[in-house]
Amino acid sequence: MIALALVWAGVVLALACCAGLLAMRDAIDKLHFTSAASVLPPILVCGGVIVDQGLGAVGLTAILVAVVLVLAGPAAIVAIARLERQT
Amino acid sequence: MNGWLWAATVLLLALVPCGWVALRSSYVGALAGVQLAGTLTSLTLLLLTVGYDRGVYANLALVLATLQIVGGLVFARFLARL
């Protein structure tokens, strides 16, 4: 139950970020919502997977997915934002 | 259908606005849409792993999470040269 609550919280946040991406006009504003979606929903969804599956193979892979998305996602967003600044 | 598969379905539906932004926006805005779509797809694969109880599917999520970020950096690099 807690696992699904975490997952659905992540899904709702992802939907909110999609709505923000759709609503914003400026590219930097769109990147802001993309960056938020690469940090909060992965933590919640992967947390739900870990609560359900424990620290087995799937749980450890979920941790890796969350670490990759949370650490490298904003770095890619920064690189894309620099591109917007150049153009 | 269990709760995990419903959550994966909702995340798949969230790809529609990302695709719309990728089609209708500027280069950088489209890249933002593609990045968000990659993140959502990676999470969807993770949810399908639990929903179908197939542990090997989680590797797909990990590979996609890595490659979509590398792909975004490559896109940014090439678009900077245009």
Range of the domain at A50: 2-86
Interface A-B, measured as beta-carbon pairs within 8 A, has a size of: 148
B67: nearest CA in chain A? A68
Residue of A11, A22, A65 with shortest CB distance to B11: A11
Q: Is B12 on the interface with A (CB under 8 A)?
A: no
Is this prediction's pTM over 0.90? yes
Q: What is the pLDDT of residue B36?
A: 94
b/e map B35-49, b = 16+ CB within 10 Å = bbbbbbbbbbbbbbb
Q: What is the pLDDT of residue A12?
A: 95
Cα separation, A74 vs A79, whole angstroms: 9
Residue of A15, A31, A64 with shortest CB distance to B32: A31
> What's the ipTM?
0.91
A8 contacts in chain B (CB < 8 Å): 3, 7
Whether A84 shows a pLDDT value over 80: the answer reads no
Give me the number of domains chain A comprises: 1
Report CB contact under 8 Å: B76, A79. yes
Report CB contact under 8 Å: A87, B28. yes
User: Over the stretch A1-57, which tens digit does the pLDDT of each residue have?
Assistant: 888 999 999 999 999 999 999 999 888 899 999 999 999 999 999 999 999 988 889
Range of the domain at B51: 3-80
Give how far Cα B29 sits from Cα of A8, A20, A56, A84, B71, Å.
27, 12, 38, 9, 15
Confidence of residue B79 (pLDDT cuts 50, 70, 90): confident
Q: What is the pLDDT of residue A87?
A: 67
Min Cα distance A70 → chain B (Å) is 10
Token pair recorded at residue A7: 């997952």
User: Over the stretch A47-61, which tens digit does the pLDDT of each residue have?
Assistant: 999 999 888 899 999
Residue of A58, A72, A87 with shortest CB distance to B50: A58
Residue of B20, B36, B42 with shortest CB distance to A34: B36
User: Over the stretch B19-52, which tens digit does the pLDDT of each residue have?
Assistant: 999 998 888 889 999 999 999 999 999 999 999 9
Token pair recorded at residue A83: 């591109």
Give me the number of domains chain B comprises: 1
3-state SS class at A25: coil
